[in-house]
Chains A and B, each alone.
Chain A
């Protein structure tokens, strides 16, 4: 009897020890990634990196100026395409939904959320690049915009639903039509939360590379024309990472540091905000 209990005791110890080991092992590569990226990247970041153009092979120096501006343009285009669909769609789900159409919209959004981003890139290629006969920033923006939609849609719906009923009733009781109640009262109360969803969506697409490969294509030169191929930060990192040149590798690390800083900053701000908001709602 004692030996059996002893065995149970040891199994308990060993298994619990293993779960702790699993926690440590899983955290390890993640810390290594941060450590390696920062230790390689920080040294290569300087003023030139932000202000200069990529140099031809063989010349050292140069920077990511066109890629940074290109990424900003792509993000603006993506928002122009994705925000209206996400926000209006979310308002539809929270205010007018509950019918058959709403079910289909939610299903479509879930489906899109699970779709590999490269497939969205193929779609943007088919509807934009091929008819226009060349790669363009516009096509890249559409691809990224489509990827943004599910995140914005679901945050908008959740945040609109969280606005207390009393607020709507108060506005309606004052004689405001329903749409004005939504725009001036409910949307106004929910705007912080919706903005958070938008930031979260931007964080998600800022690092997306796959859907840009055959839409925005990348560009070694300065371009702000949205009908032409455009450079983007993740694309430039990819090109430089798989190149055989050490100088380019260093620049890829620097680009990765900027990108990871941007993405983490956006995620941290938005997640803290959502957390506070949900906590405030509960109490």
Chain B
């Protein structure tokens, strides 16, 4: 029938439009970063020069900053999130479960700019006046805690990122743990295991692939996070081992310099950084999807 063909055709048109948009994002990022790739070649990701005046660009400080701030965020967020997930799925009474799960879901919806604003006026002063002087005094011999306590810097960015990804990691981990069949728990308990031994040996071991997937999803969000990081990291293209020093991430340099980028090579270098960020998040999210898919397959076979 004619109407059917028209309707199906129009739904297909919009579906294909989506494919085209995503294809165009990848293609244009690649095409726009070609001039920089031609000029700098394979040195681009590894050079730490960022000199707009001399038009010499390298992405290393930003790749380093993105990776370090995200890994720092994971180091803080993963143990806490797993703790929350275990508490909610194994210990908490049912009347606590639903409201806490609901609140965590809501927190994932709070915009990045709000975390940035709060971080700038509360987290940063707290770090500058209490945490960082303490770290310098007692752990200053480590290369990670050298330099003056600015407040803003890698540590502040990592901490705000960890606060932002705890809701995601903990809610997905909770779902993973709740999907563990009860007979696993019952078997361990019947063997005389304590509550914690049951959790460690039966529940966590059963769900470890899914938990890894949850961590990957959190990482995927941390890598691309822009506003909160831009406001807290200090925006200086330097590679420093010290977590107290200001840094820069791929997302924050784009946010800061894109509108001011004059000259083809400058803009193209920023596009190249965008392409790197896009590829990195794609890889991490695919990894997460693969892990979650594997868990789905396992549960399906049970």
Contacts and interface: CB of A to CB of B under 8 A. Distances in A.
Q: Which of B25, B88, B112, B122 has the most CB of A within 10 A?
A: B25
Contact of A122 (B29, B163, B197): B29
A114 B114 CA distance: 21
Nearest to B16: A101
- How big is chain A's contact interface, by range? 35 or more
A116 B4 contact: no
B106 to A, nearest CB: 6
A116 B224 contact: yes
B95 to A, nearest CB: 15
B118 A116 contact: no
A241 to B, nearest CB: 5
Interface residues of B, number: 87
Interface stretch (B48-56, B128-136, B207-215, B271-279): B271-279
Interface in B1-32: 1, 3-4, 6-8, 10-19, 21-25, 28-29, 32
Contacts, number: 254
Contact of B8 (A96, A249, A263): A96
A203 interface: yes
B83 A19 contact: yes
B145 interface: no
A52 B109 CA distance: 29
B81 interface: yes
A178 B110 contact: no
Interface in A94-121: 95-96, 101-102, 104-105, 108-112, 114-120
A64 interface: no
Contacts of A12: 194-197
A253 B118 CA distance: 9
Contacts of A15: 196, 199-200
B22 A112 contact: yes
A91 interface: yes
A268 B103 CA distance: 10
B60 interface: no
Contact of B112 (A123, A126, A207, A213): A207
A181 to B, nearest CB: 10
A16 B251 contact: no
A92 interface: yes
Contacts of B163: 29-30, 33
Given A33-B115, A105-B15, A117-B226, A26 B277 contact: no
B111 A209 contact: yes
A263 B109 contact: yes
A120 B25 contact: yes
A9 B114 contact: no
Interface string A21-42: 1110111011011001100000
A249 B17 CA distance: 42
Interface stretch (A53-61, A82-90, A161-169, A188-196): A82-90
Q: Which of A116, A182, A242 has the most CB of B within 10 A?
A: A116
| The 6 residue pairs across chains A and B that have the minimum distance between CB atoms | A22-B83, A207-B111, A116-B224, A179-B7, A88-B14, A114-B285
16 contacts: A12-B196, A30-B167, A33-B118, A92-B15, A104-B19, A110-B285, A114-B282, A115-B278, A116-B226, A118-B277, A119-B29, A123-B29, A179-B7, A206-B111, A253-B117, A260-B114
